[in-house]
């Protein structure tokens, strides 16, 4: 009795799933847009992995237009709505460390986009930073020597 039921049930199941698959046909459309890539790193050069990103559009600076996470290399890519011109603000944050960058977006200029993203770094090269550090240390040591001399 049971065996007799198995065959029609199996046939029904296969047919049924086929019908379902046809009903879930997929259509993918695409269009080429300009996107903004955010590269975030700590000041020691280590990428901010899985940091939270909130993108604010110029017309609503209080609620995020998009939220997401950076990837393992500290990168985050999003395509802003080209209709909304003005300063797009992107906040990257992890464990109390973070930065907000304002990215001016206007329909005519593509070059502007890339210029303003490099923020958060001091803009100095490693030798410059070392020199600045040494000068700072010398300032402190010099102060110490000055007062030590005055004492004797």
Binding site for another protein (CB under 8 A): 43-44, 46, 49, 52, 54, 56, 62-64, 67, 91, 93-100, 120, 122, 129, 132-133, 136-137, 140-141, 143-145, 147-148, 150-151
Minimum CB distance to another protein, residue 92 (Å): 11
Q: Which is nearer to another protein, 17 or 128 (CB)?
A: 128
Minimum CB distance to another protein, residue 140 (Å): 4
Q: Which is nearer to another protein, 29 or 63 (CB)?
A: 63
- In this structure, what is the dihedral angle of CA atoms 77, 101, 129, 48, given to the nearest 10 degrees? -40
The region that residue 95 occupies, defined by phi over 0 for left and psi between -120 and 50 for alpha, beta otherwise, is left
Query: Which residues is 148 bridged to in the sheet?
Result: none
CB 68, CB 53: distance < 8 Å: yes
Minimum CB distance to another protein, residue 20 (Å): 35
Token code pair at residue 102: 């304002």
């Amino acid at each position: 009795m049971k065996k007799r039921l198995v065959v029609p049930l199996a046939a029904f199941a296969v047919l049924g799933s086929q019908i379902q698959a046809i009903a879930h046909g997929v259509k993918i459309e695409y269009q080429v847009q300009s996107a903004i890539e955010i590269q975030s790193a700590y000041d020691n050069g280590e990428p901010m992995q899985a940091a939270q990103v909130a993108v604010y559009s110029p017309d609503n600076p209080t609620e995020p237009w998009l939220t997401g996470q950076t990837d393992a290399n500290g990168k985050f890519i999003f395509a802003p709505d080209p209709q909304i011109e003005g300063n797009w603000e992107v906040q990257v944050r992890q464990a109390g460390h973070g930065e907000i960058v304002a990215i001016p977006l206007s329909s005519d200029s593509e070059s502007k986009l890339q210029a303003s993203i490099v923020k958060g770094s001091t803009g100095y090269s490693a030798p410059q930073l070392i020199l600045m550090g040494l000068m700072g240390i010398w300032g402190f040591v010099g102060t110490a020597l000055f007062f030590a001399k005055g004492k004797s």
